[in-house]
Amino acid sequence: MTVQSLSSAPIGEQPLILSWRNVAFFSAVHALALLAPWFFSWSALGVTIALHWLFGSIGICLGYHRLLTHRSLQVPKALEHTFALLGALALQGGPIFWVAGHRLHHAFTEDVDKDPYSARRGFWWSHMLWIMYPRPEFFATETYRKYAPDLARDPFYTWLDRYFLLLQLPLGLLLYALGGWSFVVYGVFVRVVLLWHTTWLINSATHLIGDRTFKTEDGSRNLWWAALLTFGEGWHNNHHAYPKVAKAGWKWWQVDITWWAIQSLKVLGLAQKVVMPPLQAETTK
C-alpha cells in the first residue's frame, strides 16, 4: 500500500498542542551544549567534528535518507543495520519514525496538513516547531509505522525505533572513559545540537532560499552553504526533482560528501543498484 493511498482522506486544519515534554527535552540539551566554553579542548572539538560526520553523513544522510527512505542503493543487510544504528545515534528519532515522516514529506511536499514539516507554515515551523507541536498522525507509533511498512517488518528496526534514545548512554560512557566530561559535552550535547540544526535547515532554509535548477511543483531549492553543512543534502532541488537518485550534487562543483561515501562503497563492491541521475533531465532556462 502506498503512502498516497494511506493518506488519501483529508486531514483538515487541526489545533496545535504544545508538548512541554519536548520543549523541556530540547531546551535541556541546548542548555548543556552551552557549557562548551568551560570544557573546551581541541581534541573534544575534533570528537564533535568526527561524530558529526559519522552520525550525520553516514548515519542520517546515507543510512536514514538515501538508503532506507528512498532505497537509492542496496547494501548487505548487516551493513544496512549498521548505518541505521549510526543514524539512531544522531538523536533524530528512530528509523521507522524518520523514514515515515520523510516519505510523507515527499508524497505531500509543502501541504500544510499532510507534510509533517511543511514550509508553507513558515521557517520556524519547518525548522523545529513541528517537533514542539507534535501531531499524532506523524508521532504516534501505531500511525507512522504504516508509512514505512518495509522497516516495520524488521525486528531490528522496531527495536531501534523504540530504544534509540538509550543509545546515548553507552556512547556517553565511552566518551567519558576516553576524555572525561569535555568529550561528553562536545561529543554528545554540542554534536547533537549542531546536527539537529544543520539537518533542520534542509526542511526550512532549502525550501525558502537558493537556486532552482529543476521545474518542481514545490519550493525546493539548491543552497550551497546548506550543502556544505549537511554533507550534500543542501542540493535539495536536485533531490526533489529525482528523489530516488543516490547523488544529490550533480555538477562537479556541487560538493556532496555523502556521495563520496557511496562511491567508495560501490568501488568496494558493497553498494549495488545505485540509482544515478538520468542522462537527460528537463531543467529551467
Q: What single string gives the DSSP state of each residue in 21-51?
A: HHHHHHHHHHHHHTTGGGG--HHHHHHHHHH
- Confidence at residue 281, expressed as pLDDT on a 0 to 100 scale: 58
- Confidence at residue 80, expressed as pLDDT on a 0 to 100 scale: 98
Provide the pLDDT confidence category of residue 2 given band limits of 50, 70 and 90: very low
Reduced to 3 states, what is the DSSP secondary structure of residue 89?
coil
Q: What is the pLDDT of residues 20-48, one digit of tens each?
A: 999 999 999 999 999 999 999 999 999 99
Provide the pLDDT confidence category of residue 15 given band limits of 50, 70 and 90: confident
DSSP character at residue 3: H
Buried b (16+ CB within 10 A) or exposed e, 4-30: eeebeeeeeeeeeeeeeeeeeebeebe
Contacts of 269 (CB under 8 A, 6+ apart): none
What pairs with residue 272 in β-bridges? 74
What pairs with residue 156 in β-bridges? none
In this prediction, residues 50-78 reach a mean pLDDT of 98
- Confidence at residue 276, expressed as pLDDT on a 0 to 100 scale: 96
Contacts of 187 (CB under 8 A, 6+ apart): 44, 47, 48, 51, 171, 172, 175, 179
Residue carrying C-alpha cell 543495520: 81
pTM check: above 0.85: yes
- Confidence at residue 247, expressed as pLDDT on a 0 to 100 scale: 97
For residue 118, which of 96, 138, 146 has the smallest C-alpha distance? 138
Could you tell me if 60 and 90 are in contact, meaning their C-beta atoms sit under 8 angstroms apart? yes
In this prediction, residues 164-184 reach a mean pLDDT of 98
H helix or E strand, kind and range, residue 14: none
- Confidence at residue 13, expressed as pLDDT on a 0 to 100 scale: 60
List, as own/partner pairs, every contact residues 163-169 make where C-beta atoms lie below 8 angstroms and the sequence separation is at least 24, other chains included.
Answer: 164/88, 164/89, 164/91, 164/93, 164/94, 164/95, 165/91, 167/85, 167/88, 167/89, 168/89, 168/91
User: Is residue 284 pLDDT above 50, yes or no?
Assistant: no
User: Is residue 241 pLDDT above 70, yes or no?
Assistant: yes
Contacts of 177 (CB under 8 A, 6+ apart): none
Could you tell me if 193 and 90 are in contact, meaning their C-beta atoms sit under 8 angstroms apart? no
Residue type, 46: G
* Mean pLDDT (the chain, rounded): 93
CA distance 236 to 240: 6
Residue carrying C-alpha cell 548487516: 78
Exposed/middle/buried for residue 282 (C-beta within 10 Å: 0-12, 13-18, 19+): exposed
For residue 109, which of 14, 277, 241 has the smallest C-alpha distance? 241
Identify which has the larger pLDDT, 171 or 280.
171
